[in-house]
Amino acid sequence: MNITKTELQEILLRCQATTSGPWKSYVEGRDHTSGSSFIQTAGNDIELTGASINDQDFIASAKQDIPRLISVIANLKGWVL
Q: pLDDT category, 6, cuts 50, 70, 90?
A: very high
Task: Give the per-residue pLDDT at 1.
Answer: 87
Residue 73 CB neighbours (<10 A):
15
Question: In terms of C-beta density within 10 A (0-12 exposed, 13-18 middle, 19 or more buried), how is residue 39 classed?
Answer: buried
Q: Backbone dihedral region of 39: left (phi > 0), alpha (psi from -120 to 50 degrees) or beta?
A: beta
Contact 12, 81 (CB under 8 A): yes
List pLDDT tens digits, range 25-77: 999 999 999 999 999 999 999 999 999 999 999 999 999 999 999 999 999 99
3 φ/ψ angles, rounded to the nearest 5 degrees: -135, 145
